[in-house]
Chains A and B, each alone.
Chain A
């Protein structure tokens, strides 16, 4: 193990002595060639590393089944994990040894990328390699990025109270801050909390909820079906969009309403809690919703 070295704060430190794997890839590596300098990290059991900057994911599309639980970084924690387990089953008990080598290899590539790119970075002026790549991400969420559950590690009450942030100027997208509401599903033994401010349409909300509760519904179905039958995407969508369940919310007045009848902003402002209800239980809701809207207009 090498001792930490003294470094000039403004300058750059020498790279740590590492095994280099000279390859033709090295010649092509430079800062401008973003693909080569993308950081690639693999996990045991995964076939491919996942790019930190979303290139893999863009190719697969948001709903692609991913081999790697790191997918959860972009699309929501639960989905990535379920898919990794259901589809691949590649998580070998002895996976670690194999991937130690793989991990080391990607590390070496990383090191050699960095070394050969250092010359380009070495202008001494403020470096912004990370920021540039972020813009490549093609992030669609307005003024915010897709969230990993529980990251960054900030408590809900703190996130919720940032809602009155007055210093966002020129944000074209939604307002900043967070609004956590509890989501329960009839029959599910647990509640979830989601941040309404990360969505700007009902479609986004619906898709996020499907992902969040999909594992439970897969479980429900699992009792009936054989283990090999996996719920397909469309089947799952049917569960929520079809006649099985409806999405309802409790508004500021304490009334339960069907989600989707009012403009999104109005909904987000008045929603205190969400509940995924069995349609059979929700029959009485529709007329009241209409009445309430009429009286509010």
Chain B
């Protein structure tokens, strides 16, 4: 039966399948489809670099052109994962340099990337086009120089939010004079000044340049030189948006911006001097994405800018916008889909701005397309959460951070269980949820009962007992990633739901009540999980088995225990009983 359909035809049909889910499904139909599919899969996504080994990937998929790999758990962003935990990309690069000479794309997130790795990339893949390093670390600007010098076909170099050791700005000058294929450059995380003339020449000889995100060191008065040379820009990130106030700078800038008819996204805006904001007004009507999360300007200036962006779909902003500004946003930007409000003074004892739950309620009421929210604030109430839930039942991502841990409903002093309960009950498509405030086991019962599409859940300082964790693990059918800190969750819920952990990508628990004994047991019973105890004190066996571990990271894997663990990471497996007795 398989012979009636030529392989080439099947391959051609499969080439229209881009989603991994579809390709995985196709490969399970029968052996011959598995074979055909694996030879024509070009893109690989590895959500956890330790879930599989480079050798396994290469053996199954010999013709890959694009690789995306993620390393450290999400809580590493907040310094909860000790340095040296892992996530090294070098072994992957070595293996791929031999197996995938035609590799074009590497996208990494939260991985440790060395200059050595970058140099190997630059020399191994002749047709290398795309390098995205998101929240990575371990490399210097020397590594970037290798990429610039050797990757003749590079299209994209995106360093978003990586921690780069910035030795100098000289790396940019390593792009050869005959290099003209740049499409996207994001160097916003770098500190050093690059040679402006080198940057200017680079922009001038890159006719396909669509995305340019500068770093803070690029001065405002020089922006027109760049923008004029790239009127085809779609996304632009400024440097420091300040200069002494001169009308010629302003008019120069305004004229340059007005030439960018395709501009859709703006970012940067460090050190904003409000007088220069009007330079952008001419492009506002086309703007769909605006990142003002570094712009330390007051609400009236923010409102003036934002209310001109009638087509705005995504806004990142500091809480300087205040409730009044969010109300204005709700009135002007009816296409808004994503809102992120960051705190300007997260560690201040008193609120420094008038931003409360009211702002979020206004936006939820006024913006019918709102689906994705990240909101930092200092007070919340159940009635507000219920209102938000009812206003926006199509919400997909809801991440709320009430700055004070365990803060109750400020009106009633009750837990926020009913409020979050309303969110999960009304928003049936919810895929990501972050909780905060005072919460009992009850909220987890609501989540387990209603959040059937939930894929990622972040919990901090919440719950009363194991029952809370049990509700989540037993009820959330779509759960892939669960991260928990400082909650009284312990052994019972974990062991009772051990099988669930194989259906998830990972579980992170830190400062909870999971005992070393339970971790050992879990590791012994579940050979297809890596159960990592991450504990920087004396080895865990120097304490009673009932002592809780500092951190626990559990993830499914087909690669077995990893071999690059630092001394403070202990993998629990069948041998653990022998090693720790």
CA–CA, A212 and B63, complex, Å: 48
Whether B411 and A158, one on each chain, are in contact in the complex, defined by CB atoms closer than 8 angstroms, is no
Inter-chain CA distance A165–B270, complex, in Å, is: 10
Tally of B interface residues using CB under 8 Å: 93
Residues on B with beta carbons closer than 8 Å to the beta carbon of A191:
83-84
- Closest B residue by C-beta to A164: B271
Asked if A5 and B347 sit within 8 Å, CB to CB, the answer is no
Total number of residue pairs linking A and B with CB closer than 8 Å: 221
CA of A157 to CA of B270 in the docked complex: distance in angstroms?
A: 13
CB of B164, distance to nearest CB on chain A (Å)? 11
A45 to B434, CA, bound (A): 27
Q: Which A residue sits closest to B189, measured CB to CB? A: A157
Q: When each residue 537-574 of chain B gets 1 if its CB lies under 8 Å from chain A and 0 otherwise, what string results?
A: 11000111111101000000000000000111000000
A167 touches B412 (CB 8 A): no
Given contacts A167-B320, A176-B348, contact A130 B538 (CB under 8 A): no
Complex-state Cα separation, A5 to B386, whole angstroms: 9
For A218, the chain B residues whose CB sits under 8 A away are 537-538
Q: Which B residues are in CB contact (< 8 Å) with A118? A: 412
Q: What A residues does B545 contact at CB under 8 A? A: 93
**B536 touches which of A52, A139, A190 (Cβ 8 Å):** A190
Chain B CB within 10 Å, residue with most, of A92, A149, A151, A198: A151
A223 nearest CB neighbor, chain B only: B538
Q: From the candidates B350, B406, B546, name the one contacting A91 in the complex (CB within 8 A).
A: B546
Tell me which of A45, A111, A149, A219 contacts B79 (CB under 8 A): A149
Asked if A166 lies at the interface with its beta carbon under 8 angstroms from chain B, I say yes
A72 touches B511 (CB 8 A): yes
The answer, yes or no, to whether B382 is at the interface (CB within 8 Å) is: yes
Assembled-state Cα–Cα distance A87/B410 (Å): 36
Can you list 13 A-B contacts with CB-CB less than 8 angstroms, sorted by A residue number?
Answer: A7-B382, A85-B548, A93-B546, A103-B464, A121-B413, A127-B411, A134-B350, A152-B346, A162-B296, A164-B296, A167-B298, A168-B345, A190-B82
Which chain B residues lie closer than 8 Å to A164 at the CB level? Answer: 270-271, 296
- Is A7 within 8 A of B404, CB to CB? no
Determine the distance from Cα of A222 to Cα of B419 in the docked complex, in whole angstroms. 48
The interface of chain B, by Cβ under 8 A from chain A, is 75, 77-80, 82-84, 135, 161, 163, 189, 216, 270-271, 293-294, 296, 298, 320, 342-350, 352, 361, 376, 379, 382-384, 386-387, 401, 403-408, 410-414, 418-419, 421-422, 425, 434, 438, 440, 442, 445-446, 449, 458, 460, 464-467, 485-486, 488, 490-492, 511, 513, 515, 517-518, 536-538, 542-548, 550, 566-568
- Contact between A144 and B349 (Cβ–Cβ < 8 Å)? yes
Chain A residues, Cβ within 8 Å of B216: 161
Question: Bound state CA distance, A82 and B536, in angstroms?
Answer: 10
Give Cα A87 to B404, complex, Å.
28
CA A7 to CA B390, docked complex, whole Å: 12
Are A104 and B464 in contact, with the CB atoms below 8 A?
Answer: yes
Given contacts A95-B513, A117-B413, A190-B82, 8 further A-B contacts (CB under 8 A): A4-B419, A44-B488, A81-B511, A81-B550, A92-B546, A121-B411, A144-B347, A191-B83
Q: Which residue of B lies closest to A88 (CB)?
A: B547
A52 to B, closest residue via Cβ: B406
Would A44 and B490 count as touching, CB distance under 8 A?
yes
Contact residues of A between 6 and 54, Cβ < 8 Å to B: 6-9, 12-13, 15-16, 37, 39, 41, 43-45, 52
